[in-house]
Amino acid sequence: MTVAARLHQDITPDGSDYETVRRVIEMITQDYRSQPTLDRLAADLGQSPSQLQKVFTRWAGLSPKAFLQAVTLDHAKRLLGTEGLPLLDASFEVGYSGPGRLHDLFVTHEAMSPGVWKARGEGLTIRYGYHPSPFGLALIMITDRGLAGLAFDDPSLGKDAFEDMASRWPKARYVEDAAATAPYAARVFDPARWQADEPLNVVLIGSDFQIRVWQALMQIPLARACTYSDLARKIGQPTASRAVGAAVGRNPISFVVPCHRALGKSGDLTGYHWGLTRKRAMLGWEVGQGQA
Which residues are at the interface with DNA (CB under 7 A)? 207-210, 227-229, 237, 239-249, 251, 254, 259-260, 262, 264-265, 270-274
Task: Write out the E strands in the chain.
Answer: 107-111, 125-131, 138-143, 146-152, 173-176, 200-204, 226-227, 262-263
As a dihedral over the C-alpha atoms of residue 12, residue 286, residue 279, residue 217, rounded to 10 degrees, the angle is: -130
Task: Compare residues 183 and 249 and give the one whose CB is closer to DNA.
Answer: 249
Closest distance between DNA and the C-beta of residue 204, in Å?
12
Closest distance between DNA and the C-beta of residue 253, in Å?
11
- Alpha-carbon distance values, 171 to 119, 122, 123, 145 (Å): 8, 5, 7, 18
Catalytic residue, candidates 259, 263, 281, 283: 259
- Cβ atoms of residues 272 and 278 within 8 Å: yes
Q: Measured between alpha carbons, how far is 262 from 23 in angstroms, rounded to an integer?
A: 23
Task: Compare residues 44 and 122 and give the one whose CB is closer to DNA.
Answer: 122
Closest distance between DNA and the C-beta of residue 263, in Å?
8
Nearest C-alpha neighbor of 165 from the set 188, 186, 143 = 143
Active site residue 226: no
Burial label for 43, CB within 10 Å (0-12, 13-18, 19+), is middle
Closest distance between DNA and the C-beta of residue 61, in Å?
24
Q: What is the DSSP letter of 137?
A: -
6 in helix, strand or coil? helix
Task: Compare residues 61 and 149 and give the one whose CB is closer to DNA.
Answer: 149
Residue type, 168: R
Closest distance between DNA and the C-beta of residue 52, in Å?
29
Task: Compare residues 137 and 150 and give the one whose CB is closer to DNA.
Answer: 150
Residues recognised as catalytic: 259
